[in-house]
Amino acid sequence: MKKMYPFTRLATTLACAVLLTCVPAAFAEHGQDTPAVPVKSAEATIKAAVSGNDQFTNHNDSHHFDGFQTGQTPTLTVVACSDSRVHTQLFGMEPDNNIFVIRNIGNQVKTAEGSIDYGVRHLPTKILLILGHSSCGAIKAAMGDYSGETKGIKAELDTLKPVIAAEDKSGDINGRWSKNVERNVDYQVKAAMELYKDKIQANELTVVGAVYDFNDLYGKGRGKLVITNINGETAPNKIMDHPVLKELNRGEIVNHVSSLAPAL
């Protein structure tokens, strides 16, 4: 496997900087705090993008692209949040031709069904990964009043209402927020299982729910991928015994399986 691209850190910084210039009001009001990162100008932003691309092409010669000139063969389809802090480098593997990524606010199935259909039904996807993340601004916004948002944002937050309605509202706001992130993953896994029941029953697809925990809410360490659901199973002890994890050793399983929220 090749080393991670040297432009990865630059690209991540670039994405964060761009996001800081356009954080929606509801997201800021509902806990999407702005980090203390300098905001790039438009000129500096496009320069960083072009320079980063040059670093990428300099690091990967023309043969890097040989295997996917006429088609793609990813076995992992990921439904992730649009949040700039969530990117494919968290998997530690080369994303080119390996990971088919669909992104929207709140890592939702309903608002991206066509794209997910393509990944699952037209590509050799073996794993459909629903990837939530700690400090998800979409979930926090959906927990409060977002009536002042744009029509488009309100439409995407409205589809999170069943997730928020399922909580009992006990505990402090941060605890509720974290549990709702996981509840949303469970909700999206359930939606995916309904859509792709035939593929699951034929053992052609496994739907995995996980949280990218850069806040260390699960106590596994910052940046851990925490599996919280496999094909609708949310009990950690049962997830640990699922056949799809059989190539992981016990230590890896224990370090990557957990739960914060009760089942829906």
pLDDT tens across 155-193, in order? 999 999 999 999 988 899 999 999 999 999 999 999 999
Gyration radius from the chain CA atoms: 19
Quote the pLDDT of residue 72.
97
pLDDT at 20: 35
Closest of 9, 25, 19, 54 to residue 40, by C-alpha: 19
Please name the residues in contact with 90: beta carbons below 8 A apart, sequence gap of 6 or more. 212, 223, 225
Q: Check whether 24 has a pLDDT greater than 50.
A: no
Long-range CB contacts for residues 156-163, cutoff 8 Å, separation at least 24: 156/104, 156/105, 156/106, 156/108, 156/111, 157/26, 157/105, 157/106, 159/106, 159/108, 159/110, 159/111, 160/106, 160/108, 160/184, 162/187, 163/139, 163/187
What is the reported pLDDT for 8? 43
**Averaged pLDDT score across all residues of the chain:** 89
Q: For 48-66, how does the pLDDT look when each residue is reduced to its tens digit (9 = 90+)?
A: 999 999 999 999 999 999 9
For the whole prediction, is pTM greater than 0.95?
A: no
Q: What does the pLDDT read at residue 85?
A: 95
**The pLDDT of residue 22:** 40
First to last CA, the chain: 39
pLDDT tens sequence across 94-148 = 999 999 999 999 999 999 999 999 999 999 999 999 999 999 999 999 999 999 9
Residue 104 backbone phi and psi in degrees, to 5: -160, 170
Residue 261 confidence (pLDDT): 81
Is the pLDDT at 31 greater than 80? The verdict is no
Question: Positive or negative, the Cα torsion across 4, 13, 111, 214?
Answer: positive
Give yes or no for a contact between 209 and 264, defined as CB atoms under 8 angstroms apart: no
pLDDT(23) > 70: no
Predicted pLDDT at 2: 46
pLDDT score of 36:
67
What is the rounded CA–CA span in Å between residue 233 and residue 228?
8
pLDDT by residue (tens digit) across 197-252? 999 999 999 999 999 999 999 999 999 999 999 999 999 999 999 999 999 999 99
Under CATH, what is the fold of the domain 69-256?
A: Beta-carbonic Anhydrase; Chain A (3.40.1050)
Locate tokens 């593997």: which residue?
A: 93
Q: Give the separation between CA 36 and CA 177, rounded to whole angstroms.
A: 22
Tell me whether strands 224-230 and 206-213 are parallel, antiparallel or unpaired: antiparallel
Q: So where are the chain's domains?
A: 69-256
